[in-house]
Structure 1
């Protein structure tokens, strides 16, 4: 992505749509980490990439058109047929990967021996172990593994839930840093003080970026990629005021509203990373900040996402200055939080001569 940005800037294209570039980058990263697949989707979109993007758009369009909530009508519509075709492409891609990897495991011998070959001392997997490997090697207490269908379902879920949300989060992070140059410069100074090698960042480096992490969290508060979540009541629940919510109900929780509660967040519309300074947050409820949901059914990929965001922000700010774009940005509420007409920001390359 950084190479593409340098090329576009050299050609005189200074305004870039963050959503366009972040979506292809996060999808590229997830394909690598999930399937060990070098998709090259940042240069030339594949059929698989196009299918995933199409499914996201079709899902939102179906939600917003009430007659399409009726399955009988939807699957007979042009959009329904497009949805089925895109699903087939995605499922065939995943099925092929799973079948090929299972075949490789069978050729290498038992799953147990393969696991031993993959492990470091202490039980940690080698860096080239991806999600498919972990799913194929997983066993329950009876020694039973997952079926191919279960593995495909897990992989597809990780792909769908993991790329668009992170792309949205990163786009809004760069927007907020563009609008607050003082915070951006402080992040850049912190990043440069930590990175021993500008071209690489280690796992240990991520833990030494407290202010950058605070900026990421404050952006997630103001512009959470997911705007709401639901919970099913498995039993009657008594609430304040002696109200009873009956078993079987669905509760919709507004993440947008929780993150803007003025009783918890003074001046909630103000971007202030210091809210997440340990001194300011230790008395705050753990459920006041829920960009990844909360409780036993929270986001399984939140640690992956936070690490990815730190890496991308660090690598980007060490090379580029992010500036406000040519037009005002307006929020657009879709499957994830987007911006009307894209989120355009201006970029400047930080060469050795102008690095501070």
Structure 2
């Protein structure tokens, strides 16, 4: 249950927040969804559609970089690990992996506090270390639900943006790093229904 709803709800909340703060990206996502569903009634997302939303996917990933649902994880070393400087982490030691720290590290991500979906353009991803972006962890113990979570976020976000414009509230949220990334006092947004011609 923890992995199935709380983390996805956090991810969705933060991507809606980021798109509310960046209306140009929100509008580009909306146009992508409108184009995909333009000749369909009812307007529903099907499995094969998920690969046809590249910009919306980039926006979700950039939001997960800035606000990973799980900010820190722990792992027990199953063997001695030699670090580049020669120091050794002995087998059996429990290490904390700071996902939010990695995602905000300027040595890994230039201008790390800037919301920039183009970081996840396929051309840019080619140059990226596989351990630079780890919202679902990495390696043999990565999240088994990551495909489901991304699918769920794409569908909910696409259908929300198809019907509503999301606007920022006046208050700037403060990250509350806990087991799950939250906003202190909640994330507050304003939602306006789109008129029939805009959908």
Partner of 1:351: 195
What does 1:35-54 correspond to in 2, within 5 Å?
none
Supply the distance in 2 between the matched residues of 1:271 and 1:306 (Cα, whole angstroms): 19
Does 2:75 correspond to 1:231? yes
Q: Which residue of 2 aligns with 1:270?
A: 114
Give the number of the structure whose alpha-carbon radius of gyration is greater.
1
If each structure's helix is expressed as a fraction of its own residues, which one has the higher value? 1
Show the 5 A alignment for 1:14-53.
none
Any stretches of 5+ residues in structure 2 without a counterpart? Answer: none
Question: How far did 1:236 drift?
Answer: 1.6
1:340 aligns with 2:184: yes
Higher RCO, 1 vs 2 (CA within 8 Å, ≥6 residues apart)? 2
Give the TM-score, by structure 2 length: 0.96
Determine the C-alpha separation between the residues in 2 that align with 1:352 and 1:300: 39
Aligned to 2:146: 302
| SS at structure 2 position matched to 1:335 | coil
Q: Distance in 2 between matches of 1:280 and 1:263?
A: 16
**Residue 27 of structure 2 is aligned to residue 161 of structure 1:** no
Per-residue deviation, residues 275-305 of structure 1 (Å, max 9, x unmatched): 0001111011111100000011100000000
Q: Which runs of 5+ in 1 are unaligned?
A: 1-158
CA deviations over 1:309-347 (Å, ceiling 9, x no partner): 000000000000000013221111222111111111001
The residue that corresponds to 1:186 in the other structure is: 28
| 1:311 alignment partner, one of 155, 161, 165 | 155
Q: How far did residue 197 of structure 1 move?
A: 3.5
* Farther-moved stretch of structure 1 (199-208 vs 215-224): 199-208
Question: Deviation at 1:198?
Answer: 5.0
- Provide the secondary structure at the position in 2 that maps to 1:176: helix
**In 1: Cα distance, 2:138 partner to 2:144 partner:** 11
Residues 70-122 of structure 1 deviation map (CA, whole Å, 9 limit, x = unaligned): xxxxxxxxxxxxxxxxxxxxxxxxxxxxxxxxxxxxxxxxxxxxxxxxxxxxx
Q: 1:182 offset after TM fit, Å?
A: 0.1
Report what 2:14 is aligned to: 172
Moved over 6 A (4+): none
CA distance in 1, matches of 2:79, 2:29: 46
Q: Secondary structure at the match of 2:52?
A: coil
Q: How does 1:80-99 map to 2 (within 5 A)?
A: none
Count of aligned residue pairs for this structure pair: 197
